[in-house]
Amino acid sequence: MRKRSVWAWGVAIFCFIVLMIVTPAIPQSQEYHNFADQRKFLGIPNALNVVSNFPFLVVGLIGLVLCHHGNYFKLSLQGELWGWTCFYIGVAAVAFGSSYYHLKPNDARLVWDRLPMTVAFTSIIGIFIIERIDERKGTVSLIPLLLAGVISIMYWRFFDDLRPYAAVQFVPCLAIPLMAILLPPMYTHSTYWLWAAGFYLLAKIEEAADKPIYNWTHHIVSGHTLKHLCAAMVPVFLTLMLAKRDIETNRISLYRSWRISWSKTKENGAEMDSHTCTYSSVAVEESH
């Protein structure tokens, strides 16, 4: 098992090196800082983009309290508590880092916006390894994953190249839904992972459509503000999942359970189609 782990890390590092060789550098565009909604309220510049980060603080603090107060989430696997603790710390820190950035958007402040998000992303990958693959491997991988996230931010800041950060951000976006669908879960309610992934995808779409959404809503709200609110739904759904879930007694993947449900639906439909109806003729007596 240890040899397989070494091979897995080796393949991942090799693929990353090849990606860095064959792809050009991606510098940070300064247009990124030019958000659609720059209105000032109560003396706060870019007010809605700043205030819309508040839900991250609320969810992050609630998650931390429930993790450590009486083990409300019933975290029993090795490393789970540390993984979820890092995740909720990252979520709560997003409120401060993103607010600080949006008060005066520039590259120097963007570091503090992206750093807590990276902590949350990489923690989630470690949690998934703990739950779906191996407790010990997932626990051991938490620190390297967190370091990889921090290094990707530092690499971008010093070399103006977003490729490592893009890999750290988007690999979880692909890996988590695939792992949630294909790997047998340890706990129930694993569809909440897909809800969380869906809201994150919606948030990225809203971020890309910042100015069009601002125009469509007649300058009421921008896409970036909505992006913050939708992204905050990710930890909300994961917190609900933790609160509701139990140990899964029948460990089958979502993909397999969907196939079983689809097969049963087809069989039921075939049975309904196979029923035949017979009609008997009824003699009608003529009246005189």
pLDDT in tens, 139-186: 988 999 999 999 999 999 999 999 999 888 888 888 888 888 888 888
| pLDDT of 272 strictly over 70 | no
CATH of domain 44-257: 1.20.1070
DSSP state, residue 286: P
- Tens digit of each residue's pLDDT (9 = 90 or more) over 228-253: 999 999 999 999 999 999 888 777 88
**Residue 41 φ/ψ, nearest 5 degrees:** -125, 135
Query: Which residues sit opposite 272 in a β-bridge?
Result: none
Where is average pLDDT lowest: 120-124, 140-144, 193-197, 267-271?
A: 267-271
Query: Which residues sit opposite 247 in a β-bridge?
Result: 187
Question: CA 150 to CA 201: how far, in whole Å?
Answer: 23
Q: What is the pTM of this model?
A: 0.86
Confidence of residue 83 (pLDDT cuts 50, 70, 90): very high
* pLDDT number for residue 5: 59
| pLDDT of 286 strictly over 90 | no
Q: What is the mean pLDDT of residues 258-282?
A: 64
Q: Using alpha carbons, select from 260, 235, 178 the residue that is nearest to residue 55.
A: 235
Tell me the C-alpha to C-alpha distance, in Å, between residue 215 and each of 75, 110, 209: 45, 25, 10
Question: CA 55 to CA 99: how far, in whole Å?
Answer: 12
Which amino acid, residue 40? K
Contact 226, 155 (CB under 8 A): no
Rounded to 10 degrees, the C-alpha dihedral 168/116/104/224 comes to 70
**Residue 44 φ/ψ, nearest 5 degrees:** -95, 115
More confident residue, 15 or 48: 48
Confidence of residue 260 (pLDDT cuts 50, 70, 90): confident
